[in-house]
A and B are shown apart, each in its own frame.
Chain A
Amino acid sequence: MHELSLVMGIVDIAEKEATKAGLTKVEEIEVDIGKLTTVEMGAFDFAWKQGVRDSVLADAVIKINRIDAKAKCLECSAQFELQQFFDACPQCGSHFLDIINGREFRVKTLTFAD
């Protein structure tokens, strides 16, 4: 259940941005979470409710973009979507892959109410 640590990381980023901008209330937050990250969404939602209390994110709507995982085969250069780290290249069967997308884990935008 490391999701609470992750939520606290998001709260920290939002608090710092709020202080910088001199604002106090986030209306919407947009977050990218790649499908290969170790984030269990059920646990994340639960942790979110607890973690944002009394912060600038307390009333914020969270918009989560789940980013599909994509890889490029290092043997034959085929690009494909993968579901798991252990998926093989559908063209040549190799496991030597360069993971292009799916490991994103970042705060994209914060919308503040004036």
Chain B
Amino acid sequence: MCGVCGCGTESHEHHEHGHTHNHSGSKKIIEVEKDILYENNLLAERNRGYFNAKNILCLNLVSSPGSGKTTLLERTLTDLKDKYPFVVIEGDQQTTNDADRIHATGTKVTQINTGKGCHLDAHMILHALQGLKPAENSILFIENVGNLVCPAMFDLGEGERVVVMSVTEGDDKPLKYPDMFHTSHLCIINKTDLLPYVKFDLDKAIENAKKVNPNLEIITLSCTSGEGMTKWYDWLKEKSYAYNEAVMS
């Protein structure tokens, strides 16, 4: 592997790793070799350090609009609020509707409106955390802007990325939006109560998701009927324990 930029091995194409040099005295070339998302990634690592220090399990929820992220949160917060201290950051282009829904469950929440923006970034989360001041050992949900493209590139400092899709969408969604499924740790397939009424091949959807990311964990559930919710709650429990142990050791 190239020791300077970390690119591949045998297929490595030769390129110069020089330093600043002058050409005929009139131009100055600077070899920058800097990741364009460097600033975001640096802030994301700062957030991650903050979460580690305070034993906070941070989950970044991503999906297309309407897949049921907010409903999933509402139900989860209502069912588990006595078990874990939860905090929520809501990301939407406009309105505080989602934050209002979360607030109604009695959970501490802050809303980020991105205006014309299509994603949350680590800088927004940093500032939201300053206002929220999440307690130690809490579980922080970040509900990202409903968009399966842009948020994929922006690390927020989360411990786990959870992509939510629903059976009212196409079973080829993971193939259409591979970046998001590739960078996620868990995929929740929601609205399974509607399976008898829609043309959605569950096995095919799981197969497609696994093609993009063979390590992706999958949970199928319905926030309406409650089917499969315990699998999600078990996953949360396991992650919060595993997380706390990893941080403590």
Contact = CB atoms under 8 A, between A and B. Distances in A.
Interface of A: 1-2, 5-6, 9-10, 12-13, 17, 21, 23, 27, 31, 36-38, 70, 79, 84-86, 88, 94-96, 100-101, 104-114
A27 B27 contact: yes
A105 B30 CA distance: 17
Given A13-B38, A85-B213, A113-B27, 4 more contacts: A9-B39, A38-B152, A106-B36, A109-B31
12 contacts: A5-B117, A9-B36, A13-B34, A21-B28, A37-B153, A38-B179, A70-B11, A100-B11, A101-B7, A106-B32, A111-B29, A111-B30
Majority-rule SS of B interface residues? mixed
Contact of A86 (B34, B117, B152, B208): B208
Interface in B1-57: 5, 7-11, 20, 25-40
Interface of B: 5, 7-11, 20, 25-40, 117-119, 121, 149-150, 152-154, 174-175, 178-179, 181-182, 208, 210-214
Contact of B29 (A10, A31, A38, A110): A110
Contacts of A114: 25-28
A110 B30 contact: yes
B139 to A, nearest CB: 27
Nearest to B147: A2
B149 to A, nearest CB: 6
Given A27-B27, A38-B150, A110-B29, A1 B35 contact: no
B150 A1 contact: yes
Contacts of A5: 117, 119, 121
Contact of A112 (B7, B30, B39): B30
Given A38-B150, A85-B178, A107-B34, A95 B211 contact: yes
A38 B32 contact: no
B150 to A, nearest CB: 4
Contacts of A38: 149-150, 152-153, 179
